[in-house]
Structure 1
Amino acid sequence: MAARFDSTAPHIQDASHWAENLTDWGPHLEPIDGRSHNTGRLLWKGEDGLPEAGLWICTPGSWRLTLPRDELCHFLSGRAVYRRDDGEEIQITPGTVVHFREDWSGTVEVFETIRSVYMLR
């Protein structure tokens, strides 16, 4: 497996399994059960902080989530449910792609470690 972060097109081959040089991103800001933990790798971040793209891995647990900007996630592995405050549920399984709009708010419950490639704008 290879990764090139210094490329004109930063990339990770086989992102579904890549686990080299992950950064510890710590726990969630609003934990519900306090178990979940984040690691990942930044692929790109613009000069003013946006856009941002990378690989995100999160262990089982639950937390509250409010997104301050649009986020596109392609979940490569794991199982979770995102529950919007209005009751809508989004089931996450491998291959799920979700565009969370700015100000999306609810809870997340991860049952099996999730792995996602994401982009914030």
Structure 2
Amino acid sequence: MSTAPHLHDASTRQDLLDWGPQPDAISGASHSTGRLVHKGPDNRPEVGIWVCTPGCWRLTIPRDEFCHFVAGRATYRHDGGEVIEITPGTVVCFPAGWTGTCEVHETLRNTYYLTDREPAP
């Protein structure tokens, strides 16, 4: 146990765990792998590495989520019409309750921080 959970080589680390197919697929067969850095009580907050292969699916962000994309290319489309193009170096802070689609064009890799804050009613 570390006083400050950490992983070295987060942008290139290869010893990732199989997290399975991406749920709510629209097209393709996206598959996720990843590695947890930290999970708090009741899995809140959660910090880790996420890698996902090409495909498209619906998503709802359950809690505020900060993402730093270090590889790949994708398009996030909010249900309200906003489009966020992801390339290496993109940083996004998705608010709790964000809904839309994610279309991965080239395998994505990001480091993320999923807070403990629930969406506003």
Normalised TM-score (structure 2) = 0.91
Q: Which residue of 2 aligns with 1:86?
A: 80
Distance 1:12 1:32 in 2: 33
Residues 1:41 and 2:35 aligned together: yes
Q: Secondary structure at the match of 1:11?
A: coil
Q: Unmatched 5+ residue regions in structure 1?
A: 1-5
Equivalent residue, structure 2, for 1:102: 96
Structure 2 CA distance for aligned equivalents of residues 12 and 68 of structure 1: 24
For 2:19 and 2:83, locate their aligned partners in 1 and report how far apart those are by CA, in whole Å: 26
Deviation digits for residues 65-116 of structure 1, max 9, x if unmatched? 0112111000011000000011100010001010000110000000110000
Q: Indicate yes or no: 2:63 matched with 1:69.
A: yes
CA contact (8 A) 2:54 2:106 kept: yes
Match of 1:3 in 2: none
Task: Give me the whole-angstrom Cα distance separating, in 2, the residues matched to 1:11 and 1:78.
Answer: 23
Tell me the TM-score normalized by structure 1. Answer: 0.91
CA contact (8 A) 2:44 2:114 kept: yes
Are the counterparts in 1 of residues 28 and 54 from structure 2 also a CA contact under 8 Å? no
The alignment's C-alpha RMSD in Å is 1.0
Distance in 1 (CA, whole Å) between partners of 2:111 and 2:81 is 25
Helix, strand or coil: the match of 1:115?
strand
Deviation at 1:15, TM superposition (A): 1.4
Partner SS for 1:48: helix
Which aligned segments of 4 or more residues in structure 1 are displaced greater than 2 angstroms? none
Instruction: Quote the residue 1:7 is aligned against.
Output: 2
Aligned AA for 2:6?
A: H
Aligned-partner residue type, residue 75 of structure 1: F
Question: Among the aligned pairs, what percent are the same residue?
Answer: 61
Is 1:36–1:59's contact at 8 Å kept on the other side of the alignment?
yes
> How many residue pairs get matched?
115
